[in-house]
Amino acid sequence: MEARDPELRRELDATLQARGELGPEYESALVDSFLEKVEQRLAGTYDQRTRRQLAEQQTAAVRGAAQPVGPAGTFGERFGFGVVSLVLAIPLSAIGVANAGIEGLVVAWLGIFGVNAVHAARAWPWGRGRRRASSDWDG
């Protein structure tokens, strides 16, 4: 087994050795101490990644590049939205049919369709970034 982080591997080895020397009565304290070190390492890695992403976004903004995630989100976000709406369609359909019959089913599916249409419309290229100027509203 190859250790990805040699320092954490040394800490684990030291913790295991200390447990062998001190006995099982100190096991809880040793495990807590090791987990605290792992959490600190993870927090540091997360902070470093966050700073790197922020710097990349700022660099892209300075260069005038478009933001990587547009108003419609990534494919994964759109796909997830579609899956969630289909999963929620099952109980909504059942509730609609139970309370209002076929009319309730139609209303439920029109609502599902409307929500998905609005969400999908955000991804249309001709709809992005278009805002009406105040002069467009003047007659």
Q: What is the pLDDT of residues 49-98, one digit of tens each?
A: 888 888 888 888 887 755 454 545 677 788 888 888 888 888 889 998 99
Q: 79 and 59, same structural domain?
A: no
Cβ-proximal residues to 85 (8 Å cutoff; 6+ apart), any chain:
112, 115, 116
Is residue 131 in a domain? no
Is residue 134 in a domain? no
Is residue 138 in a domain? no
Q: 14 and 57, same structural domain?
A: yes
Unique residue bearing structure tokens 């249409």: 117
Q: Which of 34, 35, 40 is nearest to 11 (CA)?
A: 34
Unique residue bearing structure tokens 């040699």: 6
What confidence score (pLDDT) does residue 126 get? 59
Structural domain count, the chain? 2
How much is the average pLDDT of 15-33?
Answer: 84
Is residue 79 in a domain? yes
Q: 58 and 81, same structural domain?
A: no
Is residue 128 in a domain? no
Indicate if the pLDDT at residue 16 is higher than 80: yes
Is residue 36 in a domain? yes
What is the Cα–Cα distance from 28 to 50, expressed in whole angstroms?
32
Q: 57 and 10, same structural domain?
A: yes
How much is the average pLDDT of 105-123?
Answer: 87
Give the CA diameter of the chain: 87
Is residue 39 in a domain? yes
Q: Provide the 8-state DSSP code for 94.
A: H
What confidence score (pLDDT) does residue 107 get? 92
Treating both helix axes as pointing N-terminal to C-terminal, what angle do 6-22 and 27-63 enclose, rounded to 10 degrees? 170
Range of the structural domain that residue 105 is part of: 75-121
Q: 52 and 11, same structural domain?
A: yes
Q: Which of 83, 85, 109, 84 is nearest to 96 (CA)?
A: 109
